[in-house]
Structure 1
Amino acid sequence: MRGILRTTLLSAAVMSICGTALAEDWQLAKDEDGVKVYLSAVPGSKYKAYRGVVDIKADVATINALQEDVKGSCKWIHACADMRLLKTEGGDTWTYSKISMPWPVTGRDVVIHVTTEKTPDGGMIRHLNGEPTFTPEVSGEIRVPKLVGEWKLVPKGAGVTEVTYQVQTEPGGSIPSWLANSFVVDAPMNTLKGLRSAAEKR
């Protein structure tokens, strides 16, 4: 589970900002098909943090199982090119992901350390932190130097779970402004739509 969660975060991470605590002024950027995406400026960064929120007609266990399927999760995570589990230790997981970028932008990769916290209401929070030096850099990829985020699953009753996906990152290298601006909206929007579709088919 940590694998997929970590990976989902990876893809999202690829274009946001650095430090969830720094993103506070959330503004609604897009509301489409039941998914709301909010953006926030982050002091000291030129990239915005993003937060996506959606209600999914599936219980926490179902969504958790999808997130634990590391390889399978790449199918519904935005811009995911590859994803694999590196290490599991107790409740902690480390994953490696490659993020696709449109030509001629160089692709990114990211190593994410995921810790899972169960909440009293039966939900869970997966905390995501980038660890760029956990594995050697890969030729042809730009390693994401900084990423902070979380997945939050809150049971709402009647088999419905509210899912929040939030990420702030520094993508490393240079990213065209048009791509950065579209990624911070598309990443949470498409990832949550994909997760919802997979979960509600089960």
Structure 2
Amino acid sequence: MGSFKQVAMVVGLSAVLAQVAHAEDWKVAKDEEGIKISLADVEGSDYKAYRGVTVIKAPLARVKALQEDIAGACAWIHECKTQKLLKQEGDQVWTYTQFNAPWPVTARDSILHVTTTQDADGSLTRKLEGVPKYLPEEKGFVRVAKVEGFWKLVPKGDTTEVTYQVHTEPGGSVPSMVANKFVVDAPFNTLKGLRAKAQKP
């Protein structure tokens, strides 16, 4: 039964990665400070998917531990105001996050279902799936309507290659100028913050 569940999870994860990827459509939007950000159009959406890639001079275990500190991770996630763990079941967690937003955009909150899988080569993938109906909406926040994406950590000796790829439907009304800035700033600042934490002596 365990092996069947694992196969089903890998098949499901592959489908999600293929859906979010649109690999041939990615266009580099920013390549600075060792962090490359690429964007891709997503069919039927007004919002672009983003992908950020960097190499962190720290072992995978350290990067993994920083991600698993749910409340502490808010310190390096772009515009994160607060974050907490709602539930954990084995390699699955459910998290709740509140985000700051620039005026005149209403602050957002998001509920994610995160599933972690590890490959034989030590690589680790965290599938991110928005579950907006998991809790009632909070006053003063617009619930992010949809999140699809993943984190992928690949060990490279003493370093870790990190890929962070997401497509979001932010819910409510977001001016295009703000949305276009977010899809570059969110992965760039998040990866920069994670890297700084991981490489701190």
Distance verdict in 2 for CA 1:135–1:112, change over 3 Å: same
The unaligned stretches of length 5 or more in structure 2 are 1-15
Which stretch of structure 1 is more off in the superposition, 66-75 or 32-41?
Answer: 66-75
CA contact (8 A) 2:20 2:49 kept: no
* Residues 1:66 and 1:22: Cα distance change in structure 2 (over 3 Å): closer
| SS, match of residue 70 in structure 1 | coil
Deviation at 1:123, TM superposition (A): 1.7
2:172 maps to which residue?
173
Amino acid at match of 1:21: Q
1:97-137 C-alpha deviation (Å, 9 max, x unpaired): 01110122101101000000001111200000000111111
Q: Distance in 2 between matches of 1:93 and 1:23?
A: 23
- Residue 182 of structure 2 is matched in structure 1 by 183
* Cα RMSD (Å): 1.3
Q: Which has the larger radius of gyration?
A: 2
1:175 Cα offset (Å): 0.3
The answer to whether the 8 A contact 1:23-1:42 is kept is no
Residue type of the alignment partner of 2:200: K
Alignment of 1:188-199 (within 5 A): 188-199=187-198
Distance 1:19 1:33 in 2: 26
User: After superposition, where does 1:82-93 map in structure 2 within 5 Å?
Assistant: 82-93=82-93
The 4+ residue runs of structure 1 with deviation greater than 6 A are: none
Distance in 1, matches of 2:17 and 2:96, equals 20
The alignment partner of 1:192 has SS state of helix
Letter in 1 for 2:111: V
Q: Give 1:15's aligned residue.
A: none
Aligned positions, number: 184
Distance in 2 (CA, whole Å) between partners of 1:192 and 1:30 is 13
Distance 1:72 1:91 in 2: 19
